[in-house]
Amino acid sequence: MANYTEILFQKMLEYEYLGLQTDEDGSVFIGKAPHIAPKAWLHKKYRKLSIIEIDELGEKVQIEIPIIYKEFLNVFSNGLNLFSDSLSLDGLRSNYNRDIDIASKQPYSIITPNITERFTDASSDMFFFGGYCLDGSLLYFRGIKIYKCARYTVKPTFEWNSFEEMILLEFDRLALLFDKDGKEIEVN
């Protein structure tokens, strides 16, 4: 796997001084965020998926999962939440229980944007995999490029040349919006 995951994880660990929790399944929660909620975390890295789980996920979404995202799910994380859900990457959600202790330890479902809430103007070569909490915009693959689109249309509002480029640049951009305590900086 590319070195970008190591770089990303090191960036996430820069907030370890705010707290760190590693679950027995391999999920890692970094930076307690009590200003959001008593059990909130700044960053969430979920357990990795097995090849079998990724294959089953591919059958469920009925769209070819890009190789780089399959590797991400298998080698690094089954989805991700960065900066108190400012940016989330979707994965396999195995339980829809609304209990906070269960729900908060699972990624958003990748099935939702690809099947149940798929845009009507989405072409068959678009694979949705994440989005932004603030404005509801989504991220999708089209080939190796990554596109950001508004909440109700696939028309791109931004693009990156690769998944690796997108995740590292977006982490750095979002980091500028939060202070050392993990609180969003208010702009006047």
Query: Structural domain boundaries of the chain?
Result: 47-175
Residues 6+ apart with CB under 8 A from 117: none
pLDDT in tens, 12-28: 999 999 999 999 989 99
Residue 1 has a pLDDT of 46
pTM of the model: 0.92
CA distance 32 to 18: 5
pLDDT at 92 over 90: yes
CB 78: neighbour CB atoms within 10 A? 28
pLDDT at 42 over 80: yes
Which residue would you say has higher pLDDT here, 103 or 168? 168
Question: Which residue, among 175, 81, 94, has the nearest Cα to 130 in the 3D structure?
Answer: 81
Give the count of alpha carbons within 13 A of 103, CB side only: 7
pLDDT band of residue 101 (cuts 50, 70, 90) is low
pLDDT at 71 over 50: yes
Average pLDDT over residues 82-108: 79
Average pLDDT over residues 136-165: 96
Average pLDDT over residues 36-42: 92
Residues 6+ apart with CB under 8 A from 37: none
Residue 132 has a pLDDT of 97
State both tokens at 136: 């509801």
Residues 6+ apart with CB under 8 A from 104: 39, 40, 41, 44
Residues 6+ apart with CB under 8 A from 18: 30, 31, 32, 33, 42, 181, 182
Q: Please provide the CATH number assigned to the domain covering 47-175.
A: 3.40.1580.10
Mean pLDDT score of the chain: 92
Residue 105 has a pLDDT of 73
pLDDT at 154 over 50: yes
